[in-house]
Amino acid sequence: MDSLDELLKQAEAAHGHLCAGQILGVRMALLGLERLGIADPRGADRKRLVTYVEIDRCATDAIALVTGCRLGKRALKFRDWGKMAATFVDLESGRAVRIVAREDSRQLARRLYPHLESPNRQQMQTYREQPDADLFREQWVRVTVDAADLPGYKAERVACARCGEGVNFGRFALLDGQKVCLSCARPELRYWEPE
């Protein structure tokens, strides 16, 4: 595994800037990997890990970079809960650890670095230097990853009986005996509307 400084350089290049969220995400991912005993997540151990992230902010890009988990590989799962949290699941052992950024770490940053002008600078310094226990809460959890959600899973592809669009991985509903995509089955939940 690369050093913290090297991972932060990679995170900055991938994300476009380095910020407190990037540092927190790198540290969070490193801690999760350490707890699970996964040493080479982007290489030899790449098929062992699934990661659930609970926020769509800077930290998520850093977590994806460190773990090698990506949406396109079906190894990164997004739950839009607005929490600075991630759960790291070792598919080989079945163990999982959920790591949450401590809410009081921002106050800690203000106390430790009052001479730094911006809260972001205070947080960046704190997140880079402080021990994990000052930044995160950890909890061993049980996660059942459905077979259909595993990386590499192959499933039937169907065409929606209403709109004709293809649907993968069983993401359809049965309406009047027909397979219908979720956006046709529940149009009130769509993020888009036809013009």
Is the domain of 51 the same as that of 98? yes
148, 141 Cβ separation under 8 angstroms: no
CA distances from 27 to 60, 136, 190 (A): 12, 9, 35
The pLDDT, as a whole number, for residue 38 is 97
Domain-located, residue 37: yes
Query: According to the model, what pLDDT value does residue 191 have?
Result: 86
Model confidence, pTM: 0.87
pLDDT (0 to 100) of residue 146: 84
pLDDT at 157: 87
Q: Tell me, what's the pLDDT at 68?
A: 96
Instruction: Supply the pLDDT for residue 178.
Output: 93
Pairwise CA distance, residues 59 & 30, whole Å: 12
148 touches 169 (CB < 8 A): yes
Angle at 98 between CA 95 and CA 100, to 5 degrees: 165
- Overall number of domains in the chain: 2
> Both 79 and 51 in a single domain?
yes
Do 84 and 178 lie in one domain? The reply is no
In a domain, 51, yes or no: yes
Residue 138 sits in the same domain as residue 112 = yes
On whether both 130 and 172 belong to a single domain, the answer is: no
**Integer Cα distance of 91 and 75 in angstroms:** 10
Which residue range(s) make up the domain with 137?
Answer: 4-149
Task: Specify whether 95 is located in the same domain as 34.
Answer: yes
pLDDT at 79: 94
71 and 103 inside one domain? yes
Q: Is residue 73 part of a domain?
A: yes
Is residue 92 located within the same domain as residue 52? yes
Say whether both 94 and 134 belong to one domain: yes
**116 and 172 share a domain?**
no
CA 32 to the chain's CA centroid: 11
* Runs of H (alpha helix) within 69-193: 105-112, 119-129, 132-135, 182-185
Q: Could you tell me the CATH number of the domain that includes residue 166?
A: 3.30.60
For residues 107 and 170, give the distance between their C-alpha atoms in angstroms, rounded to a whole number: 45
In a domain, 194, yes or no: no
Q: Is residue 96 part of a domain?
A: yes
Integer Cα distance of 185 and 7 in angstroms: 43
195 falls within a domain: no
Q: What is the mean pLDDT of each run of 10 residues along the chain (195 residues)?
A: 91 91 96 97 93 94 96 92 96 97 93 91 94 97 88 81 88 90 89 83
- Mark whether 44 and 132 lie in a shared domain: yes
